[in-house]
Amino acid sequence: MNTYPFEFGIFVARVFLGILFFFQGYEKVFRLPVREVIDSFHDSAQARHLPDALLKFGVYFTSYTELIGGFLLIAGLFKYYALLFLGVDLLFVALAFSILRPMWDMGHVFPRLVLLLFLLCLPAELDTFSLDCLFSIG
């Protein structure tokens, strides 16, 4: 049975998700200084009595996880580790936004969550268009 269309679909989903995360992280790390991202949430965090250290950790964690995890997904390298870290990233973002703004717009987060869960539920051997498969990393 020819599985290439299915395998290509997995490739497209993985690279698409990687692009979404990579450029989100790139924006926060290189275009907007991380400090500006922290400053944009500072007043909301103060109003909810969240410690500055938690805010700083969250912004740095999400920014670099999205940048590095997105790159790894695009390359198809260590993709399950990338997906696990990006899953934690999404949980953290959902928790943080729910605390800061209880009625926040999930329009940007939900598609990432669906693609991430789709990719996590697939057996690794089905993602053949990846560096993991080429190097048999798994």
Choose the weakest-confidence range: 70-79, 115-124, 125-134: 125-134
Write the DSSP assignment of 33-77 as a string of letters. Answer: -HHHHHHHHHHHHHHTT--HHHHHHHHHHHHHHHHHHHHHHHHTS
Identify the CA nearest to 124 among candidates 87, 83, 71, 91: 83
138 DSSP 8-state letter: -
pLDDT for res 1 = 55
Give the mean pLDDT of 119-129: 89
pLDDT for res 85 = 98
Comparison of pLDDT for 27 and 104, the residue scoring more:
27
Total number of domains constituting the chain: 1
Asked if residue 138 has pLDDT above 90, the reply is: no
Max CA separation in the chain (angstroms)? 59
pLDDT for res 71 = 98
Mean pLDDT of the chain: 90
The predicted-structure confidence for 7-36, as pLDDT tens digits, reads as follows 999 999 999 999 999 999 999 999 988 888
Range of the domain at 9: 4-135
pTM, two decimals, is 0.89
The predicted-structure confidence for 49-78, as pLDDT tens digits, reads as follows 889 999 999 999 999 999 999 999 999 999
